[in-house]
Amino acid sequence: MNLEKLEFEKLIEQISTLYREKKYSQLKSILADINPTDIAVLFDEFPNEQRILLFRLLPKEEAAETFVELDGETQEALIHAFSDTELREVIDELYLDDTVDIIEEMPATIVKRILRNIDAQTRKSINTLLKYPEDSAGSIMTPEFVDLKKDNTVEDAFKRIRRTGVDKETIYTCYVTDSSRHLIGVTTVKELLLHDYGDKIEEFMKTNTIFVNTHDDKEIAANFLDKYNFLALPVVDMENRLVGIITVDDAIDVLQEENTEDIQNQLFSLCGLNCGLCPMFLNKYCPGCGGGEGNQYRIGIKERYSTDLNENSNIMQEKGICINYNDIIGVIFAEMTYGSFQQ
């Protein structure tokens, strides 16, 4: 179920009513029909106490998918409320790269609790992923992929996919490796379906495989996925051994980040003052709004009313002229007078 605005508002009212009346079985049925992404948006409308109960009404798989879509603050609140069993159930349903993303955003106490509730092999895999540079392909890959051998038959391949596929992020693209895990080819479930059970993988696999290295920039990987319309892209180490894949959903996230940075850079160039106060570049807070932790505002220096840097900064501090960090309208209309900015 995808939610339109009116539908969304009605749903919030319906959920609130059922919550007050403690009609949890009806709530469970309603939530089961909603897309996890929409559930995450819905959760923003409820206080933590209600979110926790609503989350506990979700089926395991849907709960994990919803958890990934929540903001870090809500995730942290839920983890605090979880028993160890509940935490383990959620983490077990997550793909490994999603678990890593969550760990990177959580405070140390939460991280310790997550690591304490996962098995040794998963903990080892997480530690490996966390060692890659932040902007590298290795940092966004997942080690959950289907690998085959060239002398496997189609029947062997399907048996392996059925046996291991439930824990893989994607099963459509399968990677062919040798005994030392070197990447030597790739095939797809479509190709497998079009061949006889007795045919060997080496007879039809593609050997001109496009891949990236763990230390390549993640934007390179994302652009490859976009350029070639891949669902997944293999990632190899310095010895050409297959260590993971990057899926299209992670590539979309990277491209969105890249586009946001490009837009921000273009908007910043409208200013031309280079006063050094912009928090977008120096991660500082606006002096006009008190510099509070939660008040990350972009200083409204978009009117070119002065070429003198010090005078400009003083005026900004006196008048507290700010625009919300995300309010690009004030940035686009850079030549507006400062009376048009809201303090």
Could you tell me whether strands 212-213 and 232-236 are parallel, antiparallel, or unpaired per DSSP bridges?
Answer: parallel
Q: Can you tell me which residue has the tokens 């686009």?
A: 332
The pLDDT assigned to 258 comes to: 75
Helix residue spans in 33-180 (DSSP H): 36-43, 48-56, 60-69, 72-81, 84-93, 96-105, 108-116, 120-130, 137-140, 154-164
Tell me how far apart the alpha carbons of residues 295 and 86 are, in angstroms, rounded to a whole number. Answer: 34
Tell me what the pLDDT averaged over the chain comes to: 78
The pLDDT assigned to 3 comes to: 58
The pLDDT assigned to 207 comes to: 96
Does 217 score more than 90 pLDDT?
yes
Instruction: Please name the amino acid found at residue 318.
Output: E
Q: Give the whole-number percent of the chain exceeding pLDDT 70.
A: 74
Task: Give the pLDDT confidence of 61-112 residue by residue, as tens digits.
Answer: 899 999 999 988 899 999 999 999 999 989 888 888 888 888 888 887 888 8
The arithmetic mean of pLDDT across residues 184-195, rounded, is 96
Does 7 score more than 90 pLDDT?
no
The pLDDT assigned to 270 comes to: 52
Tell me how far apart the alpha carbons of residues 337 and 333 are, in angstroms, rounded to a whole number. Answer: 9
Does 283 score more than 90 pLDDT?
no
For the chain, the residue count is: 343
The arithmetic mean of pLDDT across residues 247-270, rounded, is 73
Does 275 score more than 70 pLDDT?
no
Does 117 score more than 50 pLDDT?
yes
Predicted confidence band of residue 4 (pLDDT cuts 50, 70, 90): low
Higher pLDDT, 199 or 96: 199
- Give the three-class secondary structure for 116: helix
Tell me how far apart the alpha carbons of residues 168 and 175 are, in angstroms, rounded to a whole number. Answer: 13
Give the CA count within 13 Å in the CB-facing half-sphere of 1.
15
The arithmetic mean of pLDDT across residues 224-240, rounded, is 92
Tell me how far apart the alpha carbons of residues 18 and 20 are, in angstroms, rounded to a whole number. Answer: 5
- The 10 Å Cβ neighbour count of residue 33 is 7
C-alpha separations of 93 from 62, 79, 105, 118 in Å: 9, 15, 19, 11
Does 333 score more than 90 pLDDT?
no
Higher pLDDT, 107 or 305: 107
The pLDDT assigned to 267 comes to: 54
Predicted confidence band of residue 291 (pLDDT cuts 50, 70, 90): very low
Predicted confidence band of residue 340 (pLDDT cuts 50, 70, 90): very low
pTM of the complete model: 0.58
The arithmetic mean of pLDDT across residues 43-53, rounded, is 90
Does 214 score more than 80 pLDDT?
yes
Tell me how far apart the alpha carbons of residues 321 and 327 are, in angstroms, rounded to a whole number. Answer: 13
Q: Which residues of 18-29 are buried (b: 16+ CB within 10 A; e: fewer)?
A: bbeeeeeeebee
The pLDDT assigned to 343 comes to: 35
